[in-house]
Homo-oligomer: A and B are copies of this chain.
Amino acid sequence: MTEPDDDLIPSVFARECASRAVLADVTGRWGTLALAALHEGAYRFNALRRRVDGVSEKMLAQTLQALERDGLVRREVQATIPPHVEYSLTEMGERVAAKLVELIELVEGEVGRVRVAQARYDQAR
């Protein structure tokens, strides 16, 4: 691993560019869904886990940690008894999540056409 050069323009097409790793966090299997869920509002860990149907406790914890490290997600421990941990988006996280939600809405809206294409593809083989 070479250190990325700050003088270069970031490009996800370059293997070593830091932007590719950030894109991977954001578009990862659980990263996308966690960000999209937090776009609805702040969540406690267990509620977020129920919203992101199918994610394991371990994977969600890892995903949130990576997004917190990237400065996209804020983790706040509330001074309640017992203490609650709440996750929300930072300003930068809001902008990324908003774009992801647009992508998700596009995919959800096209899923009927995709399934037709898949059936046609499978029949031709």
Q: Which residues of A contact B (CB under 8 A)?
A: 6, 9-15, 17-19, 22-24, 26-29, 32-33, 36-37, 51-54, 68-72, 92, 95-96, 99-100, 102-104, 106-118, 120-122
Contacts and interface: CB of A to CB of B under 8 A. Distances in A.
Nearest to A12: B104
Given A69-B122, A70-B118, A96-B103, A13 B32 contact: no
As for how many copies of this chain the complex holds, the number is 2
A103 B103 contact: yes
A33 B23 CA distance: 10
Contacts of A92: 110, 113-114
Contacts of A72: 114
A111 B69 contact: no
Given A12-B107, A70-B118, 8 more contacts: A22-B111, A23-B104, A23-B107, A27-B28, A68-B121, A70-B117, A96-B106, A99-B99
Nearest to A51: B13
Contacts of A6: 112
11 contacts: A6-B112, A10-B111, A11-B108, A18-B114, A22-B110, A22-B111, A27-B28, A70-B114, A71-B114, A71-B116, A92-B113
